[in-house]
Amino acid sequence: MRIAVCWLLVGLAQAAMQDDEPCRLWLARSHLYESDAPKYGLYAGVTFKVNDTLPNMEIGIPMVDFQDGPHSSTYPEIMQALETFFWTADYAGTAKWEGNHSSTILVPGVGVLANYHAGYSNIDWVQSAVFNRQYPEAWTRPSSQPHPSRGATSSYFNMTMRASADIPVGMELFANFGEVWDPEINKDDVYEQLLTRWDYQGADAIMKRMNDYLTLYKENLSGELGLEVVDFMRESILGPHHGRRAKSIRSLLPATPKKIHEASQLGGTFLYRNQDMIKSPDWLEDRGVCVDTLEVKPSTKKDAGFGAFATRDFDVGDIISVSPMITMYKDMFDMYRSEEVNSKDDEKKVIEFDLDTKIGEQLAMNYAFGHSESSVVFLPTSPYVAYMNHDSEEFNAYVDWSEHDDVVSRDELTAGTLQELKYSPQLSAVFQIVAVQDIKKGDEVLINYGAKWEEAWQKYKRARRKTSWTQRAMDVAKEYADKPYPVDLKVGKIPYPEGVITACFIKAEEVEDGRPKVNTQDQQILQWTGPRTDADMNGMDLVICDLVDRDMDEKGSYTYTVKARVKGTNEIAQVEGVAHAAVTLTDRPYTSDMHAPGAFRHWIEIDDQRFPQHWRDLRS
């Protein structure tokens, strides 16, 4: 045990000393730490300016019909904790149609580890990145023999976040969880005490204009006069406004021109009031672990898709990364057929699962670490750890329990029973990835997934070779990059493979006066207004659509008239002028690669000697 502790310290010291590359992301105890979760947070190791992307082009792993699934009653504590880790699948575009009822996605890295702060957020999704992903070439090669990792790994990669405010070095990252998530919303009594991010945003907008004004008339507003102007703005203009927001905003505005200038320089009223939140570089080095040690590139391994590559050199024994893990149980991954039925007492629909027929396992199982003899598994949350590929002979790293955590030690955790583990706070289990060979910057980091995994994979590959492969949306989408989509399809003449349907990005407004506002079927007619560029594409605007007519605009590009349930209404509307680039193809629920019958599912085996004996509840 002692030896492992020494390794960690040596490892960290070495990693820190040899670094030429600055570490952009640190994992450390969250500023919001209380005696239970959330325990970890991510901190900026460099300055991120507004709109800079974060180093997290991660995978999104869809959890299909999981949230309302049968596990909520078996594992209520875990399911509740997972809510704060999972995103609604709107953020991963077509992933929202993987399931019949609900699709949520798990996005390791920033997507899980960045916390929520009611008063502040400084990072947000680049909604378009997941639509602009470049599939590995081998995946899209037309061939009757499928690439084996299709259906075994997530096709929703390139999930990217960006800074939504200037983030100084040492600041913790707080994600915009979206307004619907806020558990405090609509509780006025709580909001009386609590400053919200809307208050800070409001104060920032006013402060910016005050600062611009004070800067412009700097010469003329020195001394008393400047103070008086600020006072006038705060008290005489904002003062008479009653209500909680006006009061909150006024309380957030600094009282002197000098302080207004300082607060503006620092990046806003939140950072100005909470300067203790910004940690020093020494604090990061002492208390944190650099988790900016891997990057994603096409793997050097055949059949593996993408892989994790070292962004710096490591010596034998160095810690490459540290990953808090999500604790789950194997049966939570089981999938069952389900349907919506009317509940007995009222109109409300409920989802009924047929627990007698297991139809498969969630894809997330392939990213989990576990042991054949135990029902417990752990999902990694640190950046790019989920991308580490397997090599049973030439692996250069291994996974072990970490001693980094100063709250729940490895010994304490692994001494607990399986039952206790179920109730311990999520992310208490922490893994470290340790180099077993010298690793040079640019080397692919490979671990040994274990003999059981290898056996299962070889068996799966042999079986897959014998099956024919159904074409998916991804296979046909390329074909229609320039070619017009067919319109007004008669049943039986659908040119797409089974299961492939059209979806459209739609923002729309009422048609101009003078044009018909409803069609012969009494459906509202709307004019398409966007999104017009790749960068504006957003999963929230993506809806299933039927193409009914095609036209050509003045630039010679195809446009379509489509029928769709436009966001905000539940009615089908007719939308005109939809650009070719706003039409895409997607797979119907339960027909994409990850749902292929017999798709590969196996956890990564944790080394026998490292897996506690008393957790082996499945030993026969």
Ligand X SMILES: *[C@@H]1O[C@H](CO)[C@@H](O)[C@H](O)[C@H]1NC(C)=O
Min CB(93)–ligand X separation in Å: 12
Considering beta carbons, is residue 327 or 338 the nearer one to ligand X? 338
Q: Contact residues for ligand X (CB under 6 A)?
A: 50-51, 100, 128-129, 132-134, 158, 217, 219-220, 337-338, 359, 589-590
Min CB(596)–ligand X separation in Å: 13
Considering beta carbons, is residue 220 or 521 the nearer one to ligand X? 220
Put residue 362 in one of left, alpha, beta given phi > 0 → left and psi -120 to 50 → alpha: beta
Neighbours of 566 (CB within 10 A): 23
| Cβ proximity of 364 and 106 under 8 Å | yes
Considering beta carbons, is residue 448 or 591 the nearer one to ligand X? 591
Min CB(28)–ligand X separation in Å: 28
Considering beta carbons, is residue 126 or 171 the nearer one to ligand X? 126
| Cβ proximity of 526 and 534 under 8 Å | no
Enumerate residues 6+ apart whose C-beta is below 8 A from 114.
41, 42, 123, 161, 173, 174, 175
Residue appearing with tokens 């009914």: 548
Considering beta carbons, is residue 325 or 474 the nearer one to ligand X? 474
Q: What share of the chain is helix, strand, coil (3-state, %, to 5)?
A: 30, 25, 45
| Cβ proximity of 91 and 150 under 8 Å | no
Min CB(338)–ligand X separation in Å: 4
Lookup: tokens for 501:
């349907």
Considering beta carbons, is residue 133 or 244 the nearer one to ligand X? 133
Enumerate residues 6+ apart whose C-beta is below 8 A from 579.
528, 532, 557, 558, 559
Beta strand pairing status for 604-605 and 369-370? Answer: parallel
Considering beta carbons, is residue 57 or 585 the nearer one to ligand X? 57
Considering beta carbons, is residue 51 or 343 the nearer one to ligand X? 51
| Cβ proximity of 401 and 304 under 8 Å | no
Q: How many residues does the chain have?
A: 620
- For the four alpha carbons of 588, 591, 593 and 594, in that order, the dihedral sign comes to positive
Min CB(50)–ligand X separation in Å: 4
CA angle, 518 as apex, 512 and 519 as ends, to 5°? 120
Min CB(68)–ligand X separation in Å: 12
User: What are the b/e assignments for 227-249, b being 16+ CB within 10 Å?
Assistant: eebbeebbeeebeeeeeeeeebb
DSSP annotation of 485 reads P
Min CB(224)–ligand X separation in Å: 15
Min CB(360)–ligand X separation in Å: 9
Considering beta carbons, is residue 497 or 589 the nearer one to ligand X? 589
Backbone angles phi, psi at 352, to 5 degrees: -110, 130
- Among 326, 414, 418, 398, which Cα is nearest to 607's? 398
